[in-house]
Amino acid sequence: MCLAVPGLVVSVEGRRAIVDFGGVRREVMLDLMEEGEVKPGCYVLVHTGYVIQTLDKEEAEKTLNLWKEILEKLDAQTS
């Protein structure tokens, strides 16, 4: 199973970007995207350290809210 995680692009430098995943920032590669397509402030899907797709803000927030709900339920089960 593959998992792509949505995040907010904080900065872009060359073919690398810093993406914020709910407070955790990671450097990711832009090699799979067209030059100039990924910009600070946009949401992206990241898989194994590579941006594979851009997302509109609404879709990204829906996905992030679902992840939050899943994690809260898992946390409640282990408590």
Q: What is the pLDDT of residue 47?
A: 94
Q: Tens digit of pLDDT for each residue in 10-53?
A: 999 999 999 999 899 999 999 999 999 999 999 999 999 999 99
* C-alpha distance from residue 8 to each of 30, 43, 56, 76, 79 (Å): 14, 5, 11, 27, 30
Q: What is the DSSP string of 12-63?
A: EETTEEEEEETTEEEEEE-TTS-TTS--TT-EEEEETTEEEEEE-HHHHHHH
State the pTM of this model. Answer: 0.84
Domain CATH code at residue 19: 2.30.30.140
Residues 52-71 have pLDDT tens digits of: 999 999 999 998 899 889 98
Tell me the residue range of the domain where 59 lies. Answer: 5-78
* CB 12 within 8 Å of CB 51: no
- Give how many domains the chain has, as a whole number: 1
